Amino acid sequence: MRRVFTGNSASSGMALGRVRLERPARFSIDNTPLPDAEIEAEVARLERAFAIAREDMSTLRRKLHGALAREVGEFIDAHALLLDDPELIEGLRAMIRKGHYRATAALKAQRDRLVAVFDAMDDPYLRSRGEDVDHVIARVQSALARQASSEEKKLATRVGEILVTESVAPGELAHMASHGILAVVAGSGSPYSHSAILARSLHLPMLVNADGVLEDLRDGDLALVDGVRGEVVVHPTAQDLAQFRNWQREALRDGQRLAQLAGSETHTRDGHKLHIFANAERPEDIERARTLGVAGIGLYRTEFLFLAQSGLPNEDEQFTAYRDLVLGAGGLPVTIRTLDLGADKADAAGLVMASEPNPALGVRGVRLSLRHPDVFVTQLRAILRASCYGPVRILVPMITNASDIVEVRRLLEECARDLRTAGHEIPDQFELGAMVEVPAAALNVRALLEVTDFLAIGSNDLTQYVLAADRNNDQLGKLYEPAHPAVLRLLAHVIARARGAGKRVCLCGEIAGDPAFAPVLVALGLEEFSMLPDRILGARDALAHCDRKTLRALAPRLLRARDSDEIAALIASVQSAS
Q: What pLDDT digit, counting tens, does each position of 450-470 carry?
A: 999 999 999 999 999 999 988
Taking alpha carbons only, the member of 105, 90, 101 closest to residue 47 is: 90
489 in any annotated domain = yes
Residue 453: give the domain boundaries.
Answer: 264-577
* 303 and 325 both lie in a single domain: yes
* 335 and 204 both lie in a single domain: no
**Total tally of structural domains belonging to the chain:** 2
257 in any annotated domain = no
Examine the fold and report which residue of 199, 216, 251 is the final residue of a domain before the chain moves on.
251
Beta strands in 284-411 (DSSP E): 297-301, 334-337, 392-396
259 in any annotated domain = no
* 453 and 512 both lie in a single domain: yes
* 279 and 407 both lie in a single domain: yes
What's residue 54's pLDDT? 82
Name the CA dihedral angle for 33, 37, 40, 43, rounded to a multiple of 10 degrees.
-20
Q: What is the pLDDT of residues 524-554, one digit of tens each?
A: 999 999 998 889 999 999 999 999 999 999 9
What's residue 130's pLDDT? 62
112 in any annotated domain = yes
* 247 and 268 both lie in a single domain: no
189 in any annotated domain = yes
CATH number at residue 434: 3.20.20.60
CATH number at residue 209: 1.10.274.10
* 288 and 152 both lie in a single domain: no
* 490 and 531 both lie in a single domain: yes
* 199 and 294 both lie in a single domain: no
Q: What is the pLDDT of residues 294-336, one digit of tens each?
A: 999 999 999 888 877 777 899 999 999 999 999 999 999 999 9
- For all residues of the chain together, what is the average pLDDT? 85
pTM of the model: 0.72
Examine the fold and report which residue of 251, 278, 295 is the final residue of a domain before the chain moves on.
251
**Beta strands 222-226 and 231-234: pairing type?**
antiparallel
Task: Enumerate the β-bridge partners of residue 224.
Answer: 16, 233
**Residues noted as catalytic:** 194, 508
* 525 and 559 both lie in a single domain: yes
Element (H, E) at 9: strand 8-11
Q: Per-residue confidence at 153, pLDDT binned at 50, 70, 90?
A: very low
* 198 and 322 both lie in a single domain: no
User: Which of 59-63, 215-219, 327-331, 341-345 holds the top average pLDDT?
Assistant: 327-331
435 in any annotated domain = yes
531 in any annotated domain = yes
* 391 and 317 both lie in a single domain: yes
Q: What is the pLDDT of residues 267-283, one digit of tens each?
A: 999 999 999 999 988 88
- The residues, any chain, with a CB within 8 Å of residue 170's CB and separated by 6 or more, are 71, 72, 75, 194, 195, 198
